[in-house]
């Protein structure tokens, strides 16, 4: 198989959901289809569980699991499927945002009873910004939930999507009889037996046929006929181009726990989901089937073993092939590097491979050379776009609690920030360091890891900021910008790329600033360059 064919058979995607909607369960069932795992329960949940163990132990446990489950790959019907893991916990949302820069499409899992939840809203918003193709899976149909039409409305309204159902439930909860597959025109009857791997489906091109009454009962049959009529009336026909552009989202119903409706989802997915997509760089658009390799780091994971302070940098291959021991250019550092043991990921394992293709993820051992967002090429001096930092929601001063270990502290902070655990701002006025995070949990992670991996101790102190706004003056020499800097000096700092940031203490203060200094633009992500 030529390398272009290899690239064409890749489908790299992420599953996103609010915690508990069924992401882990669905992932596991998908892996079963690929024959990648043999039994249920093999995929470990990377959820943060509050309970008997103290929080940081839980974080460590979670960190161990999430190395293993960062990328789960398997072959299904000759397609190479790469599932990129996205943490559901809101304190790790930034991680998920970054992973979304490396996927070519997503599946959104929604709980039929709970409907669209907060975390789903946030994540889908990011997908929409990036025009990522989305398939919706409505889960837990074996339970009593919302009416299917109401739910489709809710998905459209709360998530700002335009949906078209490709399957439709026959009953729900106690009365759940099965699913009519609009895409394949067949019926799958629900027997509630999760051990079954592949269900028999009954082909059904004509739902008017009396046979339907025999199979599901007259009442359910009539109801399905009415509902399908409505579906055809209300929703547009599926249009692959519109789906690929992010303008139309197909919806499937099922029950991941019962492995029901999952095969349908997967079969449709491999047919419609995009092959690796082109990506924009600061100089040009890069196509996956170009001969030369290019890729970017979207995630960095510290080694679990504190004695070996090396890390794994996860690289999404954007174009060409990545080969073992071949020299590649680390564009930011301007130096060539070779990798003797690049990891590729399969179900639950990682192994060293000689060659990987656009669409794949490789894990590279790193001793501190990489930052999130770094580009690797075969020599071209370009940088991929689109790994923005989002404004943190919590801010604290970080202080050194052990004066003899200030070097270690600095190094630790530096490396943890490269990993993207949190963001560091250095105040312009006095050089003090402020750490910004998405969730309060990260402060524990940082403190724990500084101590255990770097031998440094830190304490925190509240810093009264509400949002970080990246600052760009229309004219850096004008009077207005000078005054802005003078008046706001207490709240100004630099991020780790040296960009000026205004740490505003309230929404009101942001608004006032915008009114008073219209020529000083404020941005809520670092993506404005
Ligand atoms: P995640 O947080 O999104 O990864 O959710 P999990 O996959 O861990 O599922 C959360 C809970 O919902 C678990 O107890 C699952 O067993 C349960 N669950 C998942 N899918 C289904 C389903 O189809 N039906 C029912 N009744 N429960 C489900």
Q: Is a pLDDT exceeding 80 seen at residue 528?
A: no
Token pair of 46 as six digits: 């990377």
Stretch 149-161: mean pLDDT, rounded? 96
Q: In the predicted model, what is the mean pLDDT of residues 24-34?
A: 87
Is 140 assigned to a binding site? Answer: yes
> Which amino acid residue places its CA nearest to atom 24 of ligand 1?
140
Report the pLDDT value the prediction gives residue 396, as an integer from 0 to 100: 97
- pLDDT greater at residue 287 or residue 97: 287
pLDDT tens digits for range 67-117: 556 788 889 999 999 999 887 777 777 888 889 999 999 999 999 999 999
Listed range (23-37, 233-247, 253-267) with the worst mean pLDDT = 23-37
Q: Mean pLDDT in the chain? A: 87
Probe target for ligand 1 pocket from 19, 23, 24, 25, with the most ligand atoms within 8 Å of CB: 25
pTM attached to this predicted model? 0.86
* Phi and psi at residue 431, to the nearest 5°: 75, 5
Regarding the beta carbon of 165 and ligand 1, being less than 6 Å apart is answered no
Residue 58 has pLDDT above 80, yes or no: no
Is residue 64 scored above 60 in pLDDT? no
Cβ(23) to ligand 1 under 6 A? yes
Asked casually if ipTM beats, i.e. exceeds, 0.95, the reply is yes
With a 6 Å cutoff on the Cβ, whether 88 touches ligand 1 is: yes
Of 266, 299, 256, 294, nearest to 70 by C-alpha is 299
User: Between the CA of residue 421 and those of 25, 320, 450, what are the distances in Å?
Assistant: 27, 30, 12
More confident residue, 348 or 477: 477
Tokens of 145: 């939930």
For residue 258, the CA-to-ligand 1 centroid distance in Å is 10
Atom of ligand 1 nearest to the CA of 25: 7
Give mean pLDDT, residues 274-298.
95
Q: Do the annotations mark residue 86 as ligand-binding?
A: yes
Q: Cα torsion for 98, 99, 105, 108, to the nearest 10°? A: -100
Q: Output the CA 25–ligand 1 centroid distance in Å.
A: 6
Residue 194 in this model has a pLDDT that exceeds 90: no
pLDDT confidence band for 50 (50 / 70 / 90): very low
Asked whether the predicted pLDDT for residue 40 surpasses 80, the reply is no
Q: Is 143 in the pocket of ligand 1 (CB under 6 A)?
A: yes
Asked if the model's pLDDT at residue 197 lies above 70, the reply is: no
Task: Measure the CA–CA gap between 121 and 43, rounded to whole angstroms.
Answer: 25
Question: 475 labelled as ligand-binding?
Answer: no
User: Quick one: pLDDT band at residue 343, thresholds 50, 70, 90?
Assistant: confident
Contact 62, 72 (CB under 8 A): no
pLDDT in tens, 412-455: 999 888 888 899 999 999 999 999 998 888 898 899 889 988 89
Nearest ligand 1 atom to alpha carbon 139: 23
Distance of CA 260 from the midpoint of ligand 1 (Å): 13
3-state DSSP of 43-54: CCCCCCCCCCCC
Q: Is 140 in the pocket of ligand 1 (CB under 6 A)?
A: yes
């Amino acid at each position: 198989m030529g390398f272009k064919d290899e690239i064409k058979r890749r489908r790299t995607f992420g599953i996103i959901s609010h915690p508990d909607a069924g992401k882990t369960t669905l992932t596991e069932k998908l892996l079963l289809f690929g024959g990648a795992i043999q039994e249920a329960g093999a995929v470990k949940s990377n959820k943060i569980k509050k309970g008997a163990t103290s929080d940081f132990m839980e974080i460590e446990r979670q960190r161990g699991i999430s190395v293993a489950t960062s990328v789960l790959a398997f072959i299904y019907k000759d397609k190479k499927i790469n599932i990129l893991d996205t943490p559901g916990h809101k304190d790790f949302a930034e991680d998920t945002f970054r992973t979304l820069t490396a996927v070519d499409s997503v599946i959104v899992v929604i709980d039929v009873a709970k409907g669209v939840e907060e975390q789903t809203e946030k994540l889908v918003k990011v997908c929409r910004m990036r025009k990522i193709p989305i398939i919706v899976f409505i889960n837990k149909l074996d339970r009593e939930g919302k009416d299917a039409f109401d739910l489709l409305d809710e998905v459209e309204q709360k998530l700002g999507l335009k949906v078209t159902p490709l399957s439709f439930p026959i009953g729900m909860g106690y009365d759940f009889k099965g699913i009519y597959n609009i895409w394949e025109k067949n019926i799958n009857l629900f027997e509630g037996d999760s051990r079954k791997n592949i269900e028999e489906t009954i082909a059904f091109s004509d739902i008017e046929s009396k046979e339907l009454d025999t199979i599901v009962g007259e009442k359910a049959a009539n109801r399905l006929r009415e509902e399908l009529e409505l579906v055809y009336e209300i929703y547009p026909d599926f249009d692959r181009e519109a789906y690929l552009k992010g303008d139309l989202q197909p919806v499937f119903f099922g029950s991941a726990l019962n492995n029901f409706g999952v095969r349908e989802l997967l079969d449709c997915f491999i047919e419609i989901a995009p092959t690796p997509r082109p990506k924009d760089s600061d100089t040009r658009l890069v196509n996956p089937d170009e001969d030369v390799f290019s890729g970017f780091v979207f995630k960095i994971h510290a080694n679990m073993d504190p004695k070996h302070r090396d890390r794994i940098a996860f690289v999404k291959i954007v174009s060409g092939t990545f080969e073992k021991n071949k020299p590649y250019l680390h564009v930011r550092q301007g130096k060539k590097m070779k990798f003797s043991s690049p990891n590729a990921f399969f179900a639950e394992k990682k192994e060293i491979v000689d060659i990987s293709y656009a669409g794949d993820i490789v894990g590279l051992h790193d001793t501190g050379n990489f930052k999130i967002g770094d580009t690797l090429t075969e020599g071209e001096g370009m940088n991929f776009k689109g790994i923005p930092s989002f404004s943190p929601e919590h801010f604290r001063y970080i202080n050194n609690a052990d004066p003899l270990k200030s070097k270690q502290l600095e190094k630790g902070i530096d490396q943890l920030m490269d990993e993207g655990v949190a963001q560091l701002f250095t105040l312009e006025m006095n050089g003090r360091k402020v750490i910004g995070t998405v969730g309060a949990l990260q402060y524990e992670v940082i403190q724990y890891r500084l101590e255990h991996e770097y031998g440094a101790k830190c304490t925190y102190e509240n810093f009264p900021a509400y949002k970080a706004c990246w600052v760009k003056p229309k004219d850096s020499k004008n009077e207005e910008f000078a005054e802005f800097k003078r008046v706001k000096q207490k709240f100004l700092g630099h991020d780790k790329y040296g960009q000026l940031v205004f740490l505003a203490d309230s929404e009101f203060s942001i608004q006032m600033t915008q009114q008073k200094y219209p020529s000083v633009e404020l941005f809520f992500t670092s993506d404005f360059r």
